[in-house]
Chains A and B, each alone.
Chain A
Amino acid sequence: MLTLLVALPILAFIAILLGAPARKTAIGVSVLNLFLGLGSVFSWEHEIWSFSVTVLKEPALHLAFGYLDGMSLVMVLLSVIVTLAAVLTGKAPEGSEKLYYGSSLLIAAGAIGAFVSTDLFFFYAFHEMALIPTFLMIGMLGRGDRRGIAWKITIYLGIGSLVLLAGLVWLASLTGTFDMREMKDLAGTIDPAQQKGIAALLIIGFGTLVSLFPFHSWAAPAYASAPAPTAMLHAGVLKKFGLYGMLRIAVPLVPEGLQFWLTPLLFLLLGNILWVGFVTLSQKRLDTMLGSSSVMHMGYIFLAIAALIAFPENNQLAFSAAVVLMFAHGISIALMFGLTDRIERSTGSLDLADMGGLAKSAPGLALVFGIGAMASIGLPGLANFAGEVLVFLSAFENYVPSEGLGPVQIACILAIWGVVISAVYMLRAYRRIFQGPTVESTVAAKDLSFAEHIPAVLLIVALLAVGCYPNLILNLLK
């Protein structure tokens, strides 16, 4: 079944290349994948050994898919939900349907493949496979200075991936295996001195892919320029690969190395939350604002990872926090990018300065955008709230009042100010776009049609479900 999850989008991509109707095929396969993904919730514990082909005997490499634990499953759920929403949201420009829908499917296949691979080699390889269509989509169909931006993201992510590869190869040369299950068993045996080097490479490598400060400058312009489905899939799903890798590989295998870099990491993640937070405040356009906000929110997930590094013995809460927030952020940012595309299509502009009163002409759009904005700020009842609260709690999990505040706790206290920052920019954007007097561009704006509601509602349902009942995810992680 897992094999199908990966293979279906690839097969559909080939079918589209050969002439199948692009949009219909893409939607059909995404729906099918959504059901497959949801179905595997009930059987995921038996899926571990589901598929394995030895592609190479020495060094042993297996093209093997399996859920290593609940985290893989949560990421797969995130992927299938966002994929369907992205494919439904997108509207291909005349003449490039094949590229448009085919790329979305390839990105989805790469992301799912990375999340369910049990072999380090294919874990890495599938992610890279997903990057190529991302570059092409931005370069060919993006907005603004698309070529320059696509070039920048190609170089940034290409180099980040290579640094990551160096770290992974180094790690694998010490464990002598690429099987992530076997690697986990060897966790304690890795020389602490070498752990430091590996940890540094992994932080920079994964960090670049997740837009960790100061390797983040590719992200905001890329999301602003990317076509809607690409932005949704990359910001929502593919970027989580780096965090998934930190949790899956770096934290269990090189704990002592990470501990050595804990303080620098805390500074970097505060850079994400505060520095990029202020950058976000000053954005004048909705798309770049959302791009920056996505970078900023990565800081919270890194904070959970930092808590995990600092207190390795008591880590279930921090781990759950990171996973819930990854899921929540993935869904909410996809929702926001999808709606941004709608706003641009109905008003022709994304400049916050020349908008206003859109709620009058498009009340439906205003409502769903409002929910997305609230989720992004972290309002209770929506998934991001559950995630952020868990993150802050986990940072204080091992707090002993008599010993005073540790570095993680100080970072956490500073990070909480980030919530204020996001409230400011999100509410301000909402007010500028939807409230106040209507202007020329918004007077005749069309509201969402029934079909256009579907992807937004799909994502909102996911946000509400996890927000009201976080155990949906937490139970999977036990």
Chain B
Amino acid sequence: MPAYYLEALTVTLGFIILLLEAFVPSKNKSWAGLVGAAGLFVILILTFFSVGPQSDPKASWAEWPLWNFYEFDALARFYKIFALLTTAAVLLMAIDYRKVLSRFTENSDSEEGTGEFYSLPIFACAGMMWMASAKDLAGAFVALELVTITFYILVAFMRRNVGSLEAGVKYLILGALSTGFLVYGIAWVYGSTGTMSLTAMPEAIAGMENTVPLLFGIALVLVALGFKVGAVPMQMWIPDVYQGAPTPTTAFLSVGSKAAGFVLLIRFLTPFLSEGSPVRGQVLTILLILAGATLLFGNFAAISQTNFKRLLAYSSIAHAGFLLLALAAGRFDEDGSLTSVQAVSFYLATYLIMTLGVFFILAQVRIHRDGEAITDFNGLGKTNPALALAMTVLLAALAGVPLTAGFIGKFFVFSLAAQGQLWIGLTIAVIAAAAGFYYYFKTIRAIWWIEPQDDSKIALPIISKIAIIILTTATLVFGVYPEPILALLR
């Protein structure tokens, strides 16, 4: 099956759910989420049966000009799976979260206004999947906008909640600004190289004498993509938007949107960072500066946070710093050893598992204790020991405690930085990771050592329960046996 059917199927799935939801009267909208998640899982299975023109050059579809815009390799498949898994998890999370959603859309008794929340993420998913395959700047831009515009709605979805609206406006304005940077940057890159195609790029830049216009274009694109992944100094929007958005949207933003940003960053930077590129040194320097600033800001600003969702926002910035450091190590040529791309992809995969797990738990705490501050986790160890244990494992993994998946990701980044002899970067990363320990353990401390305000047990709905068990187990398994994730990348 040609690989681009995957995106077509995803969009179709989104439309089907949108139409069904609009015309089939139903009080309880949770079926829409279930159908969506099930459909995404089917598409996920289909990714393993999809091929690109390289593996079937005689097929009738192999000659289509579409393939000039669309790459299908191991990396593309990896990030498509990534987008599908994230979206499915977000839909499932939204099912359990619909009480809060309906309270802030129509009224608490009616789920009338929540239906679209199950179809919009699917459209964003299609955009993310396309970004994973982008090999042309124009196509990449369109895919990115599909994702971003969907997110404008998802962020502001709780329209009777001031925080959500504020987040929506902030995201809209800053998102539009970054889009401007992106288009302007693409124009400069096109102007100096004469091509939009990333595959033709190495040829176009080889032996280029005046690289200033090209570098200017690259820098502008980096600003725009830095906005997507939350690199300092383009991180301004993250804390407010994360805090205001509905929790499933925040999870989606922090995992899906970030990963899509990174795969696009990888796709975009690969031609400029491979051997023989005249701008490799400068681009690596820019990346290193971004990485250092992001690491320091993300981790140190997180320390003083009291709202857990805001803490996760800063932690998301901090993780972006580690990922950028892996890119700054500049190992883009495959020679059998670990490359920057593999390290970033692996890190993101573990980040997906840990972060989604934390968001599932956060959503439940939000529903039952009606708050998202760190103090709302007080005494979770007393009321729900099993849930508290899961949360401890997940937070420890985010901090990078060994034998959890999070450690292996950090370990890859550290070893890449050491191999690339980025001693300053490595020092900053160690300091940043130490700060990370502090703020993640602050929450662990609240869970275990502080008495709860009320002793009522949090009753977990079945979907969240299963998801949390799976994600926590995966965190531990991949912490000891990371090979399956890396096998997907080869």
Contact = CB atoms under 8 A, between A and B. Distances in A.
Interface in B394-421: 396, 401-403, 407-408, 411, 414-415, 418-419
Contacts of B402: 124-129
Given A169-B414, A169-B415, A172-B415, A58 B338 contact: yes
B405 to A, nearest CB: 12
Nearest to A160: B434
B403 A128 contact: yes
A158 interface: yes
B451 to A, nearest CB: 11
Given A169-B418, A173-B419, A59 B403 contact: no
A121 B414 contact: no
Looking at chain A's contact residues, the main secondary structure is helix
A431 B259 CA distance: 66
B480 interface: yes
Contact of B448 (A57, A121, A140): A140
Nearest to B339: A58
B437 interface: yes
B414 A166 contact: yes
Contact of B441 (A55, A63, A140, A154): A154
Given A139-B448, A159-B434, A162-B433, A59 B337 contact: yes
A147 interface: yes
A136 interface: yes
Looking at chain B's contact residues, the main secondary structure is helix
Contacts of A139: 445, 448-449
A151 B392 CA distance: 15
A165 B448 CA distance: 27
Contacts of A132: 392, 396, 401
Interface in A65-111: none
A143 to B, nearest CB: 14
Band of interface residues on A: 35 or more
A11 to B, nearest CB: 14
Contacts of A56: 408, 482-483, 486
Contacts of B415: 59, 169, 172-173
B61 interface: no
A414 interface: no
A140 B449 contact: yes
B448 A136 contact: yes
Interface string A449-460: 000000000000
A390 B441 CA distance: 42
Contacts of B408: 56
B432 to A, nearest CB: 10
A150 interface: yes
A155 B403 contact: no
B438 interface: yes
A125 B407 contact: yes
A150 B447 CA distance: 14
- Between A124, A150, A173, the greatest number of chain B beta carbons within 10 A of the residue's beta carbon is seen for A173
Contact of A126 (B337, B403, B450): B403
Given A154-B441, A169-B415, A128 B483 contact: no
- Between A121, A140, A165, the greatest number of chain B beta carbons within 10 A of the residue's beta carbon is seen for A165
A140 B447 CA distance: 11
Given A125-B402, A139-B449, A151-B445, A159 B414 contact: no
A158 B414 contact: no
Contacts of B381: 140
B434 A147 contact: no
Interface in B447-486: 448-450, 480-483, 486
A150 B449 contact: yes
Contact of A162 (B392, B403, B434): B434
A132 B396 CA distance: 9
A162 B450 CA distance: 27
B361 to A, nearest CB: 18
A147 B338 contact: no
A163 interface: yes
A163 B437 CA distance: 13
B286 interface: no
B338 A59 contact: yes
A158 B483 contact: no
B484 to A, nearest CB: 10
A170 interface: yes
B411 A159 contact: no
B437 A159 contact: yes
Nearest to B483: A56
A146 B482 CA distance: 36
Nearest to A155: B438
Interface string A294-323: 000000000000000000000000000000
Contacts of A147: 445, 449-450
Nearest to A171: B418
B437 A55 contact: no
Given A55-B482, A128-B403, A165-B430, A170 B449 contact: no
Contacts of B414: 165-166, 169
Q: Which 5 A-B pairs have the closest CB atoms?
A: A125-B402, A173-B418, A158-B437, A128-B402, A139-B449
Given A56-B482, A58-B486, A172-B415, 18 more contacts: A55-B481, A57-B486, A63-B481, A124-B402, A125-B407, A126-B403, A127-B402, A128-B401, A136-B448, A139-B449, A140-B448, A151-B445, A154-B445, A155-B441, A159-B437, A162-B433, A169-B414, A173-B419
16 contacts: A55-B483, A56-B482, A59-B338, A63-B481, A125-B402, A128-B407, A132-B396, A132-B401, A147-B449, A154-B437, A154-B441, A163-B430, A165-B411, A165-B414, A166-B414, A169-B415
